[in-house]
Structure 1
């Protein structure tokens, strides 16, 4: 799976994290930072990001749906395949930077770690239907209890994933941390337990460091 650094095309940057990690605030800051560096940014999310993907997202998050783990995984990749083919790859070919709220690492964490499906199966789907990894992934790491408390504080009904027990989210967090430890050249981990200003500061600093390694200053 090729990255943008090796193909000379645009960049794919993803933001990952568990429930209540504060991804929405950080995404906005990262987009501003990228645009300040002169990047043309296409922002998207998973699951979703296309009309078909958003319909799949509604199904995946509907608490009334009793989906098996395998069905959940395949639906995630159906949404992702549509996103890659119709949004991500065309944007990269134009030299744009895609900023993704979650990408395939989320399936390794949620369906692999959380649901207990074989990581090899997730990897095979990635090779077959995604064919690339992000050039840079920022992981917002947060204690599960704190994250769930933040998510509850937002109010509103919990979706199908948010209704899972704490043990599920502990496995998700462990899988995320394991992937970050195994691929330190791609991941940067930010302590999301800090005040939001500090999280944004550290996330932007990590992005700046990645861009500096690519020879982008300023």
Structure 2
């Protein structure tokens, strides 16, 4: 990746979670990285280290999988992990329910009433709220960081909301078509008052094919 500026902001998704029941874990405590998830997190840390850029600050969502995914980055760059609640996973009605295969909760007619407004969406935190809080966290980190890049370890939905909002696309979307793989790195730069997306990398691509990735609806 070319050096776009002396400061970039990288949104890193956490690695695979140990989730044998394939439920939508959302904000439920106790969901940790799988063994493969730790390998993915290491891959993201090595990718950042290989970019030969200084990382000045490291933030992570308060959820355990994000904190665990931030640790290899913390180790490589000798940085403290700062917890940033504004980049947490959105709330979701389907938390704790099966979200994969024929038994997925969203396929059951008794739950279809939760889909009455996919634009909001009616099953969880409004997309606009998610985008706003993530961008606010990005703005604050950018304004308060000097002399290096910023890394924020978050989740698929918050990262994708920031992406859509920054590139000027509608926030309502098909969750199955998000370009935000496990341990991927989406990179942004702020020029004046405007954010630009400048790169997307998938350092754990070789580990993703067999991974259990139960994305939110």
Fold shared by both chains (TM-score > 0.5): no
TM-score (norm 1): 0.32
TM-score (norm 2): 0.32
